[in-house]
């Protein structure tokens, strides 16, 4: 239940305010060069405390690799990693110890388990997503070996929607905006929410490219571990995500078949309404996924709620929070797409008998 993937498997542990969080990555093929600097860079992209569009909580987020790598190379043994939690202010949470914050998992965890680590959201905190990024970095290294690249950014903040999409530009944007012409308005909206002690929703757009060069077309495992199903599960399983869309998605549900089918000629597909996935398998076109984030549930306005004794109380939060979780969430989504594709890449081995003949010749 705390494990993600089938052949490239990531199991995680850890709470927001525990001593450390960590994970085990099982299934990394032996012989992969593990670039620790790249892992740090990826984790840094997700990190808060860098500007006013994210949480002021500044973590060092140092990833320690405890196993599975020898002489800089993966050995085939599981890779164990931990990240210490060193900027925790548990006192911030004393006042919410016995109340259910609206929009949070407090209510559901309490009822499911009867016990709750209330400090910083405990297990349900987005803190755990550091591990998705760290393991996603290793997935990216694996994908790079066959030429697949994942990238992403912010498509919209509130109702400020990108008109152009530039994945290079997003890399330098403080909010990972994909449209340099919309970035300012998007920032302004986040700031407005922040100053009103409120928060705002947003949409990330994630892309994978390079699926038609070395990779055979057809990543994904029909019928119950299809590529789009696995992507949807990964994205929807991330905190705050309320909708996932592949390719044209919403628009596909509004149009005629003649407008939605991607025809083919000898130059390849003539359009990409499908977002790179047909029948649950990659078709060689770029993969496009949109991920819809709700606004951060932690807002600093009075809200009606109950306490654990069933009394009506007013919830007034303190603490440090992102005004818009979509921003840092977009980095995690990119990692998740890499994790899904790495899993599918390994699962695809053995799909044809000729793979066995090629390897075991």
Q: Residue 249: CB partners within 8 Å, gap ≥ 6? A: 275, 290
Give yes or no for residue 266 binding its own copies (CB under 8 A): yes
For the stretch 55-87, what's the b/e string if a residue is b when 16 or more beta carbons lie within 10 angstroms of its beta carbon? bebebebebebeebbeeeebbeebbbbbbbbee
Based on CB atoms, which residue is closest to its own copies, 114 or 168? 114
Going by C-alpha positions, the residue among 252, 254, 253, 233 that lies closest to residue 244 is 233
Cα three-residue angle 133-137-139, rounded to 5 degrees: 110
The burial class, CB within 10 Å (0-12 / 13-18 / 19+), for 128 is: buried
Question: What is the C-alpha to C-alpha distance for residues 102 and 312, in angstroms, rounded to an integer?
Answer: 12
Identify which of residues 54 and 305 has a Cβ nearer to its own copies in the complex.
305
Q: How far is the CB of 3 from its own copies (least distance, A)?
A: 6
Among 48, 120, 152, 295, which residue sits at the site for its own copies (rule: CB under 8 A)? 295
Residue keyed to tokens 């990024």: 133
Residues 42-81 within binding reach of its own copies (CB under 8 A): 64, 66-68, 70-71, 73-80
Rounded to whole angstroms, the Cα distance separating 84 from 134 reads 13
- Decide whether 43 or 235 has the Cβ nearer to its own copies: 235
Q: Which of residues 103-132 bind its own copies (CB under 8 A)?
A: 103-105, 107-109, 111-117, 122-124, 128
* Residue 41 near its own copies by CB under 8 A: no
Do 290 and 165 touch, CB atoms closer than 8 A? no
* 209 contributes a contact to its own copies by CB under 8 A: no
Nearest approach in angstroms of CB 149 to its own copies is: 15
Reading the block at residue 235, the tokens are: 């994205």
User: Shortest approach of its own copies to residue 70 CB, angstroms?
Assistant: 4
CB of 60 to its own copies, least distance (A): 17
Judged by CB under 8 A, which stretch of 50-58, 90-98, 180-188, 292-300 contacts its own copies? 292-300
CB 328 within 8 A of CB 54: yes
147's CB contacts (< 8 A; 6+ apart) are: 210, 213, 214, 215
Please select the residue that binds its own copies; options are 170, 186, 305, 330, rule is CB under 8 A. Answer: 305
Q: Work out how close the CB of 49 gets to its own copies at its nearest, in angstroms, rounded to a whole number.
A: 21
Residues annotated in a binding site for FMN: 123-125, 239-240, 279, 294-298, 320
Burial 341-355 (b: 16+ CB within 10 A, else e): bbbbbbbbeeeeeee
Q: Which is nearer to its own copies, 29 or 49 (CB)?
A: 29
**Number of shown-chain residues binding its own copies (CB under 8 A):** 162
- Cβ atoms of 16 and 88 closer than 8 Å: yes
214 binds its own copies (CB under 8 A): yes
Residue 44's SS3 state is: helix
Query: Would you list which residues are annotated within the binding site?
Result: 46, 52, 123-125, 239-240, 279, 294-298, 320
Segment 76-105, which members bind its own copies (CB under 8 A)?
76-80, 82, 100, 102-105
Contact by Cβ (8 Å): 300, 199: no
User: Taking a C-beta distance cutoff of 8 angstroms, is the pair 206, 334 a contact?
Assistant: yes
Q: Tell whether residue 11 is a contact of its own copies (CB under 8 A).
A: yes
Q: Which one of 249, 272, 308, 320 is in contact with its own copies (CB under 8 A)?
A: 249
Nearest distance in Å: CB 186, its own copies: 12
Output 41 or 66, the one with its CB closest to its own copies. Answer: 66
Residue closer to its own copies by CB (options 22, 152) is 22
CB closer to its own copies, 56 vs 243: 243
User: Cβ 174 to its own copies, closest distance in Å?
Assistant: 20
């Amino acid at each position: 239940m705390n494990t993600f993937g089938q052949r490239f498997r990531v199991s995680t542990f850890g709470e927001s305010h525990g001593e450390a969080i960590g994970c085990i990555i099982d299934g990394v093929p032996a012989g992969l060069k593990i670039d620790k600097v790249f892992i740090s860079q990826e984790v840094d992209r997700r990190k808060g405390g860098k500007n006013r569009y994210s949480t002021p909580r500044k973590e060092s987020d140092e990833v320690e690799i405890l196993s599975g790598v020898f002489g800089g190379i993966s050995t085939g043994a599981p890779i164990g990693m931990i990240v210490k939690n060193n900027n925790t202010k548990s006192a911030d949470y004393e006042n919410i110890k016995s109340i259910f914050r609206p929009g949070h998992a407090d209510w559901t965890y309490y009822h499911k388990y009867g016990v709750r680590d209330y400090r910083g959201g405990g297990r349900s905190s987005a803190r755990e997503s550091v591990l998705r990024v760290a393991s996603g970095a290793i997935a990216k290294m694996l994908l790079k070996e066959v030429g697949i690249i994942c990238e992403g950014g912010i498509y919209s903040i509130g109702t400020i929607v990108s008109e152009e999409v530039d994945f290079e530009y997003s890399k330098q944007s403080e909010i990972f905006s994909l449209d340099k012409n919309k970035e300012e308005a998007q920032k302004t909206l986040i700031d407005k929410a922040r100053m009103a002690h409120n928060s705002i929703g947003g949409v990330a757009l994630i892309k994978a490219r390079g699926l038609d060069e070395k990779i055979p077309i057809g990543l994904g495992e029909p019928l119950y571990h299809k590529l789009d199903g696995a992507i949807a599960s990964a994205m929807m399983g991330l905190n705050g995500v309320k909708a996932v869309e592949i390719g044209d998605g919403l628009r596909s549900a509004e149009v005629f078949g003649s407008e939605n089918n991607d025809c083919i000629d000898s130059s390849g597909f003539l359009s990409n309404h499908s977002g790179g996935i047909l029948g649950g398998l990659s078709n060689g076109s770029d993969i496009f996924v949109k991920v819809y984030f709700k606004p951060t549930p932690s807002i600093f306005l009075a809200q009606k709620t109950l306490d654990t004794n069933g009394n009506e109380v007013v919830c007034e939060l303190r603490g440090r929070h992102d005004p818009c979780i979509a921003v840092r969430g977009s980095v995690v989504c990119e990692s998740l797409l890499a994790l899904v594709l790495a899993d599918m890449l390994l699962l695809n081995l053995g799909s044809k008998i000729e793979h066995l003949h090629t390897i075991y010749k």
